[in-house]
Amino acid sequence: MLRELWLSPATDAPYAFEVGVTGGGSRRSPVTFTVAGPDASGQTVRGRYRLRERTHKAYLDLFASIGARFGTRVPRNRQRAEPPAFRAPFLPLLTRNLSSRVLHGYGDPAVIRVDEWYYLVATSNDAPNAFPVARSKDLRDWELRGFVFPRGDTPRWAAVGEGVADYWAPEMHRVGGEYRVYFAAREASGHGLAIGVATGPGPEGPWDTPGQPVLRGGVIDPHVVMDDDGAAWLLWKDDTNGVWPGLLHRLLHQHGRLLAQLLPDDLDRRTVSLIVSMWPWVRTLEPMERFFVQQLLVEAVADRFAAVRERLNALLATETDPGVLQAIRDVVEAMRTPVWAQRLAADGRGVEGERILVLENDQEWEAHLIEGIWVARHGGKHYLFYAGNDFSTARYGIGVAVADAPLGPYRKLPEPLLRSTAEWWGPGHPSVAQGPDGEPWLFLHAFFPGRTGYNEFRALLTVPLVLDGDRVSVRAAELEGPGEPPVDEDGAMQTSGGAR
């Protein structure tokens, strides 16, 4: 007989929700939630909801159903939305999986040009084969050349398994006489994010990886730049946007009275009252599943991110409990997503010297994060392209900062360069390579409209750039030829969308 765990309302929260959790002994096991609390009219009601699979999509559907009954926030990905008004001359390059072994498309695409070939390496999330490597001569016809880490050949230090592993943000660079793929993965011990490296004699490997990460401590999105002296520097982002939701979740569960001071909107107070009651169960989940549950908390805060951060700072002047004060300081600090740079050791397997702050989130459109950096040198300037806002929604976009030196100081353009369009949502994680016309082209991923989220298919797109001093824009272009539909090893066409 399955045991039901009952979660009591958060202490002094504006709304009292009880949640029962039944099942879920393993990732393959369904979970049933029983929710009891006030609906929008104030009447106490009860609902029972079955989560058949523990995926992002299933959790979005779950909270949409709960919202319809209890008057809580419906996830943004489940709200009816008007098509975005922003327009951009995106050129789709890969809109289907090249192989049945490529499960989730081409998120975080890093494209480099090697002689006559374009090489692509992309995120694989928790797929058994990590980091697909593809190549093309014309950007239209692509062929899969293998994986950096085929099934069973992942680094010894990295976690594996569906719902546990996350192989993210690989980048291929030629440094000296070798090719290096820097990447992020979760460590087998503790599942913290770390940056690793794989080295090979050419862009198709074979790849060798050391037994330890290059850098530990909740770090992600590695990028390599060369300074004017020819030294290689590793840039990365502190993945604190994966930290503050948990810190705030715990704080509001223990001190629900703070919720009303942080979120003035009644819908958000009701929603977050529900979410924070679930903390004792949520804290036991794997990192990505925690994000699935906490997404409504993230959306409520990100909608007014600067204001919430200001209110947290204001609480530091009024709170007297030392434990609460320290918890608030921890949340405020984690709401920064700094991008750092540190010199790589000669063998590329470690860093040395002091780290340098390059950039952090400080614009309204970026909300709680910036990430996915790529530095391109052109005309005596350095252009740092980056992504901002929530990767799993249409609010994700691409920004630009300009500097006279590879490590800055950088000056951000006041508005994002690229946003969601009616055709493509959540453009992000850019890279830059020389296009067919000899000019810089930007490569990026995006979702099909209405199909955003973790493990949803992300297409590979490109757009030519215009880099003119401190001015950056995009322009229209065409590629010759219609391009062939990608096929798998057996010649069977793959359909759009790669989530299992």
Q: Tell me which residue of 59, 53, 69, 52 sits closest to 17, measured CA to CA.
A: 69
What residues in the chain have per-residue pLDDT under 70? Answer: 1-2, 481-500
Q: At what angle do helices 287-302 and 244-254 cross, to 10 degrees?
A: 80
Model pLDDT for residues 6-40, shown as the tens digit of each residue: 999 999 999 999 999 998 777 778 899 999 999 99
What's the pLDDT at 481? 67
Q: What is the Cα–Cα distance from 97 to 119, expressed in whole angstroms? A: 16
φ and ψ at 301, to 5 degrees? -75, -45
What's the pLDDT at 26? 73
Domain ranges, ordered by start, for the chain: 4-80+242-334, 91-189+197-207+219-234+362-474
Q: At what angle do helices 305-315 and 322-334 cross, to 10 degrees?
A: 150
Cα-based distances in Å from 255 to 13, 163, 220, 243, 315: 8, 31, 31, 18, 13
Model pLDDT for residues 333-354, shown as the tens digit of each residue: 999 999 999 999 999 999 999 9
Q: What is the reported pTM?
A: 0.94
The domain 91-189+197-207+219-234+362-474 is classified under which CATH number: 2.115.10.20, 3.40.50.720, 1.10.1370.30, 2.40.50.100?
2.115.10.20
